[in-house]
Structure 1
């Protein structure tokens, strides 16, 4: 009898469905899964049968979630609801404490999972590749690879970047360079952090052969959630420039930015990152190293990529650098 009771209890336990978020649609259908994000037009829900699905917000009658979610009704302020309860068509109830609040779905601007300051180890990254071959009056072959990874554990965040560019024209190298970067962030609270950074660039073609920079300074994380992130860091740097003939060593101040934003149910991603610097002597007027682009997701992990890159050093006539690239390729993310 005991064995039979244990078996029945086990069967009942396995038959009870795991807690899941639920969408009730206006056409009478129902979707269950895990709500990932809502960006104002599309709600992304992960389902076991179809992966990530983007559902038109206007087609949702009401919804339910047993997990805490950050709900914004304007661009700047939000409420962390402990759960979402279904209500009549066109409404949802935000449960937070002893006084639940029912709001119109049309008033909701954004839904994301709240991100705590202290987290377990997480790792994400992107790898973009661009290849170009042209056979005309001159035979041109381009190779571009860009890697960007980010890991976080507790109050620490590690940022690693790498980039390689090579171009051949009639079997003659016209471009051959790479750059590596590492930044370590320590979060003081959920917004402010202190950053230490090292960057290295090597060019085998241009007069400016090497750039080395070591810096430190404060930064501010404006947001970081399922729909993107934006941060700025202001650093004091010690930089070394090595030219074909001579070198310069100087101090500088730099502003680093890192921005990305998902749109249309995370189908598109806009992003930009880079730095603008000002040397504290007369070696150069200013420097700029940045890129901006757009990614279109083909699958949950692969995309097409189009971006522009700019590398500029404005200074003395024999110590200038001005390069712009326009790239189209593919990439993967995790």
Structure 2
């Protein structure tokens, strides 16, 4: 019997606690919303409603509050009142306090409402926010998983253009990112056969370092290397140095809630050198302009698109009446990543490369498609 009574009392206690912040909020346009007050954030009431879910209501649009529960109200003069709100009469909020009894106050004189005294104390909220930001910065600076990230990817690739083949592609990628800089290392290998002959056998990789100068501007260096047996390239290297602009930084623009969108622009000078197994080696100077768009939809689907214009100032030898501006390339890349689990994702990668003055025997356009699985580290 005693156990039943205790259980009943506990049940009543938790029931009262669960509904201790339920209230009706009267809006200035005549509407009303009934729900559970969760928090007060940046001049907005955060309310949980069974039909609306969690919603934010601008405090300026609220005419008054009614509830059987006690809330904390911060007034414009800075004092805090603990009272039960009993609705609105002639534009005035009716409050009932254990100290002052029943009294009226203009709604405009109330600047915050919360569940606890600390929740309507701006100094306390600011201190808590600064403490949280400091703890996050400390974790990012000391814990390796905040600094380093990467992935392994295995894909099947089809090509059309200079070659028509089926190719296996393996990719390893790693990044280290801080508030001051970002380091990237990428390694990619391709191997394939067509009609029992090797159609693709190459290794490609690059290193890149970004250093932040201001919140918008950064400088970067990039070095790229390639070995290609099919094209008789013993080694090809491209060194790149330039600056970039964060056109859109993460958090500045969202299409959907929790979206992560960035848009960067690179402009750099390049120097390239290629050592062929047979034939004359080449080297030249040039420039590159690159636009990179990255979009993570609600921490799930991931889309990355990049476009490059690469200008080689060396006159093409295989084109009649060629000028120094004829040796250019256009590159476009599209990546779609669909998560399957926390670490495994399906990927679709499309690449297109246009060479205005290709080497003898090669076509101007190459198109690649890849479907594969990606393991996030």
Task: Bin the TM-score by the shorter chain.
Answer: 0.5 to 0.7
Q: Does 1:147 align with 2:107?
A: no
**CA distance in structure 2 between the partners assigned to 1:315 and 1:127 by the alignment:** 34
Q: Does 1:223 align with 2:183?
A: no
**CA distance in structure 2 between the partners assigned to 1:317 and 1:290 by the alignment:** 20
1:164-179 counterparts in 2 under 5 A?
164-179=189-204
Q: Name the residue aligned to 1:294.
A: 336
Pick the aligned partner of 2:209 from 184, 195, 200: 184
Alpha-carbon distance, 1:201 to partner: 1.5
State the Cα deviation string for residues 229-280 of structure 1 (Å, max 9, x = none). Answer: 33221111111133431122111101233332122x3332111246331012
Q: Name the residue aligned to 1:3.
A: none
SS at match of 1:288: strand
TM-score using structure 2 length: 0.54
TM-score using structure 1 length: 0.61
Q: Which runs of 5+ in 1 are unaligned?
A: 1-23, 25-60, 67-80, 102-112, 134-139
Pick the aligned partner of 1:122 from 139, 142, 147: 147
Q: Name the residue aligned to 2:271.
A: 238
**CA distance in structure 1 between the partners assigned to 2:171 and 2:307 by the alignment:** 13
- C-alpha spacing 1:84/1:164, structure 2 compared with 1 (3 Å): farther
Larger strand fraction of residues: 1
**CA distance in structure 2 between the partners assigned to 1:141 and 1:316 by the alignment:** 23
Q: Which structure has the greater CA radius of gyration?
A: 2
1:202-213 counterparts in 2 under 5 A?
202-206=227-231, 210-213=235-238
State the Cα deviation string for residues 93-117 of structure 1 (Å, max 9, x = none). Answer: 69xxx9669xxxxxxxxxxx99x99
Larger helix fraction of residues: 2
Higher relative contact order (CA 8 A, sep 6+): 1
State the Cα deviation string for residues 264-310 of structure 1 (Å, max 9, x = none). Answer: x3332111246331012314521234421211111122111111122
Alpha-carbon distance, 1:145 to partner: 1.5
Q: Name the residue aligned to 1:249.
A: 283
Residues 293 and 305 of structure 2 are in contact (CA less than 8 Å); yes or no, is this contact kept in structure 1?
Answer: yes
Residues 253 and 278 of structure 1 are in contact (CA less than 8 Å); yes or no, is this contact kept in structure 2?
Answer: yes
The CA RMSD measured in Å over matched residues stands at 3.8
Q: Which runs of 5+ in 2 are unaligned?
A: 1-20, 22-34, 50-54, 60-77, 79-110, 114-131, 159-164, 252-258, 317-325
Q: Does 1:282 align with 2:315?
A: yes
**CA distance in structure 1 between the partners assigned to 2:349 and 2:292 by the alignment:** 15
1:33-182 counterparts in 2 under 5 A?
86-87=46-47, 89=49, 90-92=55-57, 120=141, 122-131=147-156, 142-182=167-207
Alpha-carbon distance, 1:208 to partner: 5.3
State the Cα deviation string for residues 57-86 of structure 1 (Å, max 9, x = none). Answer: xxxx788579xxxxxxxxxxxxxx679752
